[in-house]
Structure 1
Amino acid sequence: MLALFAQRGDQYMLTNVGHLLTKRAAITPHREAFVEWERNRRFTFSELNTRSNQIASVLLTQGIKPGDRVATLLKNGIEFVESYFAIAKIGAVMVPVNWRLVSVEISYILKDSAASTLLFDAEFDNTVDELQSGKRGELPCQHWMRCSRGEAETPDWAQDYDELTATGDISEPTTGASGDDNLFIMYTSGTTGHPKGAVHSHDGMLWSQLTSMSTSDMRGDDRFLLALPMFHVGCLNPTSLLVHRGATGVIMRDLDMPGMFNCIDAEKISIFMAVPALLQFMLHAPEREQCDISSVRWIATGAAPVPVSLLDAWAKLGVSIHQAYGLTESCGPGTLLLPEDATSKVGSCGRPQMHTELKIIDARGKTIPMGSDEPGELLLAGRHMMKEYWNNPKATAEALIDGWLHTGDICTWDVEGFITICDRKKDMVISGGENIYPAELENVLAACPDVQEAAVIGIPSVKWGETPLALVVAATGASPTNETLKQWCKDHLAGYKVPQLYKIVDHLPRNPSGKLLKPKLREQYPGPAPF
């Protein structure tokens, strides 16, 4: 391996994410790289690199060239990890597909990205069969590679992933891309209209890793639980980062509460990711008392602020919370609220991460100074921002202006540089001529002891134009009423912001990344208000 570096040293001066695995395998070949929890499959960095090279060889044999798109419909597993690095090594472009989508949605992504190959898990046979049925001429895919995982025989229209991998050459492939070349296209959740494909480069992912690594406390001996879907940037970023840092990733194929606690206990997990709602569920799960979770040092969370009560509950267990804000378009990093600031800056998503710049602008495009109470749109910049939206120059021109990513999020910036997200521009409620930001109301409601989580939407009102409706999930054992919730809001909000309408619901709809699906709520509760 070391001789290989000496012979081809110029190649390794270039940024290629796949060759981070090559380098890591040379430095710590026998260190445990990834563990598949359910199947107890364990791979060293050397073994993972060999498998990745074999897959790269197969893809090259099938005619995959630098720049070609290779789509994956894979649940969490070693196949996702090894194929990601293999695709990167040869310079192809990975298109990780959300496996929760239905066939018509997947078809759109395959067509839009012009993917020439699809790697898919056997449990999606029916979905892929629907894609195949009567549409062979419509889809761009020429190769269908099926990861059998012990399932039934591979259909005649697909190739067996494991059999092909076993035949692949284990030697390092020639680097097919570097620097600003495309690495992956990740499609946004598509809560409105068709999803857009955020394009990220090898350099972009490298700087995303450096940003995360230098802002949070990641160590070489950490054991990171990968339980959230790998098709999401919030899991793809740490998957890359673990190889870069030489730490161990423990993969859960499906997120279930008993399995998660048992995994943390058995594998001595030190870090994992969870949305706030999951953190709340974990506190009340019976398995928490049955399993040893003392190995956990900190938890990364996002999608919503964490109430002080939840921070305190985890602190009593010896676990700190790192609250992050980021986007698919930023390759993950944006801002981070560190544990030492969590109580004094509750509701904030923190300061900009290392290698990330930000500013806030008003409706005229003028920069709002730090310390102002005026809300404005949050803009991010840094070498980890996306290059563009794939095949969508109009959306790209709207999102990327003079090197700044326009996030569409409305926020304020206090005198110490802490950012607080008020809301999405499109979610703002204008009631009686006043701008009301639902996220502010949601943060106040989430801090109520009787509330597990809350969402606020605007509904039509004859009197006010719009009025906020608060949809509330009660905390375990609590029975909040409209009157008690309204009083709580009156105690914590200006009068014009206090919702007059409340509804207790069993759950709130969310996408796979944990974000509230406001469009779905608006469909379910179209109004009008009774006043």
Structure 2
Amino acid sequence: MKIFSTSTCQPCAVSTALVAVRTGPIRPEALACIDIAAGRRWSYRALDVDIQRAVGVLQDQGIRKGDRVAALAKNSVHQIILQQALMRIGAIFVPLNWRLSLPELSRLLVDCTPTLLYGDQPLPDLPQGCRGLAFADFVAAVEAAVPAPRPQPHSGHDTCIILYTSGTSGVPKGALLTSQFLLATAVNFNVLGEVDTGAVFLCDSPMFHVIGIVTQIWPPMLRGGTFIISPGFDPERTNDRLGDPALQVTHYFCVPQMADALRHAPNFAPDRWTRLKALFTGGAPNPPANIRWWLDHGVRMVDGYGMTETGTTLGMPLSHDLLREKAGAVGLCGPLTAVRLVDEQDQDVPDGEPGEILIFGLNVTPGYWNRPEERARNRPVRSG
């Protein structure tokens, strides 16, 4: 793994308390989100109202602070509404990977012991104390509900999402994401990705992944921009959406394999992507020749580095010259993150030498669900 600079990156000094960012009162009528499958749009005012309706629905189901609520469902704005409502209550959202087998899903449910599981597909065997409900019933209940009183804010250090990741061990572990983690990831991406007011993110990545539930959602929300939720990646449809003048997409995140599918689709026409700042890539090695190919076709391909446990950590600047010169590098660390590159004795390696990445900062997970022995061992997070 190459870093844009091998010197240690230092985060700026900020309070570790959660900064309450509420775009609604600032830009209440601005477009917050679009659900393509449902054919619906929400202003920030309407989104806030629906989140408070969901708070009441969940409280009527007996959900309280610290409870887990899982979802086995495809992408939708209502999944974001569910996550936001649970965070306001102080409960924990657990999005599950619908690509897993039913026995694999059952093991995850035994681990996180949710009170509710909302699904839009066949559900696995449920552990004792867990009720399974149709996700469509949650949507209908929110539509019919009256907004609940606004709960008191919770600490930014409280866990609000559990994301299961196998990492290098092959054994799924539930990474704990706090409100502080979400905010730090959004700040890091916004600075590295030049996200400003009016930014529009097209969101294809599944919401059981850190990109889908955090990186595609929180950066535009923090800046009063728009996130567009699609049912999932489809090369031809995504090409059309990136070039749709009615959507005005500015930011798109994908793995390199998705970018390859875009360029080989019959309707590939990057000259129509008039507002797109960049294709942001990660999750797999991206050959320098590939990055230069996109630059030659007028599209900035911006590589970065992160993990489920750290969110957005490193990213290349959006400079054509630097992207070409440093193609294959993963860039600079975000402002709320510090990294070191060390040898087997945890000593900093000389410039140009390979090493293990150590990651420090407000975007680092406090640990894993039901694995207290790993909390101290995993601070800082190691790339392995």
Alignment TM-score > 0.5, same fold: yes
Mapped contact 2:291–2:328 kept (Cα < 8 A): no
- What letter corresponds to residue 301 of structure 1 in structure 2? T
1:117 to partner: Cα distance = 1.2
Quote the residue 1:15 is aligned against: 18
Quote the residue 1:201 is aligned against: 178
Pair 140,194 (structure 1): closer, same or farther in 2 beyond 3 Å:
farther
How many positions carry a matched residue from both structures? 364
Structure 1 unaligned blocks of 5 or more: 1-13, 133-137, 149-159, 409-531
For residues 293 and 39 of structure 2, the distance between their equivalents in structure 1, rounded to whole angstroms, comes to 32
- What letter corresponds to residue 337 of structure 2 in structure 1? T
Mapped contact 1:110–1:140 kept (Cα < 8 A): no
Mapped contact 2:67–2:114 kept (Cα < 8 A): yes
1:176 to partner: Cα distance = 5.5
Mapped contact 2:251–2:278 kept (Cα < 8 A): yes
Quote the residue 1:357 is aligned against: 338
Mapped contact 2:270–2:299 kept (Cα < 8 A): no
Matched, 1:407 2:383: yes
Quote the residue 1:51 is aligned against: 50
1:339 to partner: Cα distance = 4.1
Quote the residue 1:381 is aligned against: 360
SS at match of 1:286: coil
Structure 2 unaligned blocks of 5 or more: 1-16
Pair 272,80 (structure 1): closer, same or farther in 2 beyond 3 Å:
same
Q: How does 1:267-306 map to 2 (within 5 A)?
A: 267-289=247-269, 292-306=272-286
SS at match of 1:111: helix
For residues 102 and 318 of structure 2, the distance between their equivalents in structure 1, rounded to whole angstroms, comes to 42
- What letter corresponds to residue 80 of structure 1 in structure 2? Q
Quote the residue 1:241 is aligned against: 219
TM-score, normalised with respect to structure 2: 0.88
1:120 to partner: Cα distance = 1.6
Mapped contact 1:207–1:384 kept (Cα < 8 A): yes
Quote the residue 1:516 is aligned against: none
* Identity fraction in percent: 27
Larger radius of gyration: 1
For residues 25 and 80 of structure 2, the distance between their equivalents in structure 1, rounded to whole angstroms, comes to 18
Give CA-to-partner distance per residue, 1:156-195, whole Å, 9 cap, x none: xxxx213322343314421252221111111104664420
RMSD of aligned alpha carbons: 2.2
**Of the candidates 162, 165, 171, which is equivalent to residue 139 of structure 2?**
162
- What letter corresponds to residue 250 of structure 2 in structure 1? S
**Of the candidates 120, 135, 148, which is equivalent to residue 147 of structure 1?**
135
Quote the residue 1:517 is aligned against: none
Quote the residue 1:493 is aligned against: none
**Of the candidates 327, 333, 336, which is equivalent to residue 315 of structure 2?**
336
For residues 118 and 154 of structure 2, the distance between their equivalents in structure 1, rounded to whole angstroms, comes to 21
Matched, 1:392 2:368: no
**Of the candidates 221, 225, 229, which is equivalent to residue 251 of structure 1?**
229
Quote the residue 1:315 is aligned against: 295
Mapped contact 1:326–1:334 kept (Cα < 8 A): yes
For residues 211 and 282 of structure 1, the distance between their equivalents in structure 2, rounded to whole angstroms, comes to 27
Quote the residue 2:162 is aligned against: 185
Mapped contact 1:305–1:323 kept (Cα < 8 A): no
Give CA-to-partner distance per residue, 1:259-296, whole Å, 9 cap, x none: 11122222221210111122122222111149832232
Quote the residue 1:89 is aligned against: 88
Quote the residue 1:29 is aligned against: 28
